[in-house]
Structure 1
Amino acid sequence: MSFDSALRVTFNLQATANYKISENWTSKTIVSRSSTKTEGYYQYLWDQSNGKDFTRFIADVGGETNTTGIQQNFVGNLNFGSVKNKLLVGLDYFQRDFIQGGTGWIGYGTVNIVDQTDTNAGVLTKSSVSAALEGAGQKIGHAQAKIYSAYVSDVVNILPNLSAMLSLRVDHFTGRASAYATDDSKEQTTLSPKLGLVYQPIPDKVSVFGNYMNGFRNVDPSTVQITDNLGNVLSSELRYFDPEHANQWEVGTKANLAGDKFSITASYYSINVKNKVMGNGVNINQGGEVDSKGFEVSVLGSPIPGMNIIAGYSYNDSNVVKGDEGYPGHRTEDAGPKNLINFWGTYKIQEGSLKNFGIGFGGNSASRFYTLNRGEIGAFPLPSYIIMNSSLSYTEDRYSIILKLDNIANKKYFSGWSTVTPQRLRTLSLSLNYKF
């Protein structure tokens, strides 16, 4: 379990340029830049696997992540006889610089969950923690990654009610766990094909679809803690990993009902991920395999003028097939809840003295899930929850004012992945939007 009190500052900037080249071709250029800085104390509790004791590790963390992205897309609408093609050709460049600072990790007391004791309960102050970290040493690193991508995708209307999509993406990845070294670099090229089919037995009313994708994900660098059998940190290093590979297929249907007032989409999927990076920041290893299967249902509706409804349900069954001791046969810790439900409905008054005023109500629900789930140390479940939200708004053509109340019942609930992260209690917010 981990907890942090770090200060985060984020800056994002994006510019988009659209250009019509000809009647059949358009161009879109996107340039983005972001910067995230983190500074403050971080701690995690390491299970000693005796059913009661957790060792606390602390560090004064400082880090900065800067990213730059440049994307160029060309979209063409081409006809070859009666066969229509919508072609996408693109190039993408992405660079990430990760600057690591702060101190190393040190052990700082033991928490006993049976006796409800903490050996350092009386000295968890900023001054005492700072003094303890004086001997932890400095932790400095600078990792860099660059990804050069090219992709092409073609949607072909074979028949008026049958279309196919074929695409291929290639990524060339270069990364260094230290931007100043040359012996720890990683370089790799990965291909990802995709195929999709859509058939409309009732044109513009009912469609069935299926797709297959052999995909990959470049894994961000991670600081790997090297520990002994008791969980004591001996050393750490910043490490890059090979891409995780996934084979995925999906089938589903979409229907427009009640005179197009409702749209329902339902799908079933199966995903197999190999070469997966597994762990929680301590002794991270690669080579795991995970199977995930599930289905999703979503509903969009506008039963009367001014009313909009969004609702969804998803079920996911995820299981570790291959991994380090303790993982196989268990649900993955990053899979989240098995069951998720969301609903949001709004109504905007169409006429009268209250015209343009609107109300909204909805919420989301999640089943119990395991933030820690391993055979050798057991499981740590986070409880299920139901959170309700509401809003009051006034909207004109060029501006809107929205007053939103989240977590109406002020319910305590948590998220996490090998962590326990408290979520917001009752929150009242006011937003103003203006279109120039």
Structure 2
Amino acid sequence: MNPLKSGVLTYAESPSGLNLDYYKSYTDNSVLYKTTAINFYGKISYILSNQWKSETNLMTSNSESYGNYQTMVMANNNASIVRRIVNYAPETIVNQQIQQNFMGDLTTGSVRHRVLLGADYYRYVYGTTANGLDGSRANAANGVVRPTFDTVAVAGKSVNYGLLNESEINSRLLGKVPAITKTTLTTNSLYASDVINPTKNLTLMLSARVDFLQNSGTYNKTTDVWTGAYNQTAFSPKVGLTYQLLPEQLAFFASYMNGFQNVAPVSQVDGTVANFKPQYGNQFETGFKYSQEKHLLDASLSLYDIRISNTVRANPENVSMFIQNGAQYSRGAELDLQSRPIEGLYFHAGLAYNDSKLTASDANTEGLRPVNSGPAWMSNWYANYTFMKGSLKGFSLGFGGNYYGKDNIINTKSAGTFATDAYTLFNAVLSYSQKAYTLSLSGDNIFDTQYYYGGRGFITPGNLRQVIVSLKLNL
């Protein structure tokens, strides 16, 4: 899908230029990927005294996915689709978490303190038994052979179109030895916060968190080899304030938060392993909140600036090696409006703008908007009216929509830009509520808009019109 070839605009720059048939799946209904999940959550609360209480949260989730996971790649100047299949038997994900919190509400002198002291244990286990269906076709862009199932034409007839089916996949899997891998990650965290009120109209918040991450790496049972183990410790503080300019009506708020993301070691071309520090982000946010007494208008406006440092990038002196001095920023504004002008009528609207740029990166991307940063513009709106009296009491009618701006999937100086097209979706709901039940009829994408959304280098066709009937019982 790279729009540029030798610096000349050759390929499509958005999904609308790919000439894909929205109703053509390029697969077979027998090719399935099934996921089952079991989730448990529990909470234990104790009142320790008039000032302190304890809360213990327990969570575990287990999911298993079986079947054939399909992805597709455009080739031959977007005239063909390379179909790729990975068979999972199975793919498993286990999440386990124990969180202990102690919450206090106390005073020192005339200052009120709302204290939170906590510890968190999190364990993540990811396992796969997987097989890729090999092929011998080469990637047209760079000649690299990649695992593929086959290649079919985007438009018109193809004698191989029906070849991608469960029976053919199973026959190709015969005699293949799957790769069996397992990754385990644990994180132990300690955190504390204190919200104080020095004066009636001023609220201050101070908090800090430290995380100890231990990644045991990935174990390949087929080769009996461990790779990628690493440990990291990260500390992040947060401070904030809220000041009521007009008590119960207009408030000013501001905050600073430091966050982090752990970065795994990278094996380099010379055989060495580069170990990195966590990637840090510093976020500043400020804004205003307004609430009218009778809720004719509730509004909030926030401005934020996020600076990310310590990102890993290719070394400009030696592109086969990696260094950790990349940087980028993300800044923007968000506006949220709500209104209840009369009994039963509710309006809501939101608008968000984001500007992101890579400020320290390789020469091919520096100064550009990073991929996976989402659209620059998004908005949503919704109106709902509930009949409060008369023979129609209990009926509710809602209508709303969402706008999504274009989202970069490819954005480099050498390959050009490929982005999803901007789109707007409209939804509606009709419901009837009584004390014992709620019956709803909802429509998503009611105007049957064709659209593609993106992320992580892929585009995915969105759902067309859906009509859903639901019944909720209040026991």
**Structures share fold, TM-score greater than 0.5:** yes
Q: Which of 175, 191, 194 is residue 238 of structure 2 equivalent to? A: 194
The 3-state SS of whatever aligns with 1:383 is coil
Match of 1:331 in 2: 369
Separation in structure 2 between the aligned mates of residue 104 and residue 240 of structure 1, nearest angstrom = 30
Matches within 5 A, 1:227-376: 243-257=278-292, 259-276=294-311, 287=324, 288-324=326-362, 326-376=364-414
2: distance between equivalents of 1:25 and 1:372? 52
Compare the two structures and name the one with the higher strand fraction.
Answer: 1
Equivalent AA in structure 2 for residue 193 of structure 1:
P
**Helix, strand or coil for the counterpart of 1:334?**
coil
Residue 290 of structure 1 and its aligned partner are, at CA, apart by: 2.4
Q: Could you tell me how far apart the structure 2 residues matched to 1:5 and 1:356 are?
A: 42
What is the CA distance between 1:218 and its match in structure 2? 3.9
Match in the other structure for 2:439: 401
Q: How many residues align?
A: 419
1:324 and 1:129, CA in 2 relative to 1: closer, same or farther beyond 3 A? farther
Residue 109 (structure 2) pairs with residue 81 (structure 1): yes
Match of 1:173 in 2: 213
Aligned to 2:15: none
TM-score by length of 2: 0.78
Find the residue that maps to 1:177 and give its secondary structure.
strand
Residues 207/241 of structure 1: CA separation in 2 closer, same or farther (3 Å cut): same
Question: Secondary structure of 2:167's partner?
Answer: helix
Match of 2:16 in 1: none
Structure 1 residues 61-96: Cα deviation after superposition (integer angstroms, max 9, x where no partner): 341101111111111111112211111111111111
What is the alpha-carbon distance in structure 1 between the residues aligned to residue 275 and residue 68 of structure 2? 25
Give the % identical residues. 32
Q: Which moved more, 1:85-94 or 1:136-145?
A: 136-145
Aligned to 1:107: 148
- CA 1:306 to 1:315, structure 2 compared with 1: closer, same or farther past 3 Å? same
Equivalent of residue 168 in structure 2, options 103, 108, 128: 128
C-alpha separation between the residues in 2 aligned to 1:225 and 1:367? 37
Work out whether residues 295 and 341 of structure 2, in 8 Å CA contact, stay in contact via their aligned partners in 1: no
- Structure 1 counterpart of 2:52, from 25, 50, 60: 25
TM-score by length of 1: 0.85
Contact 1:149 1:171 in 2 (8 A): yes
Q: Aligned-pair distance for 1:405? A: 1.0
Q: State the partner residue of 1:233.
A: none
Deviation for aligned residue 1:27? 2.0
Contact 1:104–1:139 under 8 Å retained in 2: no
Task: Summarize deviations over 1:262-283 as a string: whole Å, max 9, x none.
Answer: 210111111122344789xxx9
Secondary structure of the corresponding residue to residue 218 of structure 2: coil
Which residue of structure 1 aligns with residue 421 of structure 2? 383
**CA offset digits 1:122-161 (Å, max 9, x no partner):** 6333333444455764121100111111110111111111
- Give the aligned CA root-mean-square deviation in angstroms: 3.5
Q: Please, which of 145, 155, 161 is the counterpart of residue 195 of structure 2?
A: 155
Match of 2:12 in 1: none
Give the conservation status (yes or no) of the 8 Å contact 1:59–1:133: no
- Aligned amino acid, residue 197 of structure 2: N
Farther-moved stretch of structure 1 (343-352 vs 178-187):
178-187
* Residue 164 (structure 1) aligned with residue 204 (structure 2): yes
CA drift at 1:240 = 11
Could you tell me whether the CA contact under 8 Å between 2:186 and 2:214 is conserved in 1?
Answer: yes
Q: CA deviation at 1:340?
A: 0.7
The 1:197–1:191 alpha-carbon spacing in structure 2 relative to 1, beyond 3 Å, is same
Three-state SS of the structure 2 residue aligned to 1:174 is strand
Q: Cα distance 1:275–1:111, how it changes in 2: closer, same or farther (>3 A)?
A: farther
Tell me, yes or no, if structure 1 residue 34 matches structure 2 residue 61. Answer: yes
Q: Within 1, Cα distance between the matches of 2:369 and 2:76? A: 19
Q: CA offset at residue 285 of structure 1?
A: 7.7
* Equivalent in the alignment of 1:426: 465
Aligned to 1:66: 94
Checking the alignment, whether the CA contact within 8 Å between 1:43 and 1:56 is kept in structure 2 is yes
Deviation at 1:258, TM superposition (A): 6.0
Q: Please point out which of 87, 96, 114 is paired with 2:124.
A: 96
Q: CA deviation at 1:119?
A: 9.6
Partner Cα separation in structure 2 for residue 305 and residue 124 of structure 1: 57
* Distance (Å, rounded) in 2 between the aligned partners of 1:47 and 1:342: 32
- Bigger-Rg structure (1/2): 2
In 1, are the aligned partners of 2:249 and 2:293 still within 8 Å (CA)?
no
- The alpha carbon displacement at 1:21 in A equals 1.9
Name 2:261's counterpart in structure 1: 217
Separation in 2, partners of 1:29, 1:121: 54
Q: Please report how far the alpha carbon of residue 173 of structure 1 lies from its aligned counterpart in structure 2 after TM superposition.
A: 0.7
Q: 1:40, CA displacement in angstroms? A: 2.5
CA distance 1:184–1:23, change in 2 (3 Å): same
Amino acid at match of 2:471: L
Q: What are structure 2's unaligned runs of at least 5 residues?
A: 2-25, 134-146, 315-319
Residue 288 of structure 2 aligns to a residue in which SS? strand
Q: Is the 8 A contact 1:175 1:240 kept in 2?
A: no
Instruction: Report whether the alignment pairs 1:7 with 2:34.
Output: yes
Which letter maps to 1:77? D
